A and B are shown apart, each in its own frame.
Chain A
Amino acid sequence: MNIFRLLGDLAHLASIFILVHKMHTTRSCRGISFKTQALYVLVFLTRYIDLLYTWISLYNFVMKVFFISSSGYILYLMKYRFRPTHDPSLDTFKVEYLVGPCFVLALIFNYRFEVTEILWTFSIYLEAVAIFPQLFMMQRTGEAETITTHYLAALGAYRALYIPNWIYRYFTEGTVDPIAVVAGIVQTGLYLDFFYVYVTKVLQGQKFELPA
């Protein structure tokens, strides 16, 4: 464990707390893509299936259980408690275009052709693009609540912080995980546009608005 990975994981935790906080205080899931949140449940379930047969550390175990359960809880909030506040007509990105290609890619580019290994690889590829429905939704409405932008900033920072972690691990441990690294760089890249608006507008106290 190094400082970059720890900060990355803490940013990931923070993003979830911000999202749940937003929903509870505004009693609404307006502006949040249900599809993106559902993809995260799929990502966590397919990646953390190793909970059933591997022990890494208490930290690793607790975090995995937290990510699975909190993502399920968010889905529950959106589907039941705050359902009337969700507008499916804005959440129109076709997830088949993400899940299908990610699965095919996982079948082709993986470390070993085994079920759990392919599921792990699939989860890495899917996580990289799972934010698309959310970004697509914001593109359509052209705006976002400030709290939603804090959520996205923390979520984007999480994978961005994994990049210096991988560089650090290469020099200290000699390990490189090409699948995670390439997907992580793509994932971070998808946030660059958002980060630009976040830093130049939201952090200056302005509303998050995209040019028409």
Chain B
Amino acid sequence: SVRPPVKDEL
């Protein structure tokens, strides 16, 4: 299953 994105990238 695909979870919504977490904004931990730069």
Which A residues have a C-beta under 8 Å from some C-beta of B? Answer: 5, 9, 12, 50, 54, 56-57, 60, 63-64, 67, 111, 120, 162, 165, 170, 173-177, 179-180
Contact = CB atoms under 8 A, between A and B. Distances in A.
B8 to A, nearest CB: 5
Nearest to B1: A174
Interface of B: 1-10
B8 A60 contact: yes
Contact of A176 (B5, B8, B10): B5
Tell me whether chain A's interface is mostly helix, strand or loop, or mixed.
helix
B10 A175 contact: no
A180 B10 contact: no
B10 A60 contact: yes
Contact of A63 (B3, B4, B10): B10
B4 to A, nearest CB: 7
A191 to B, nearest CB: 18
Contacts of B7: 50, 54, 56, 120
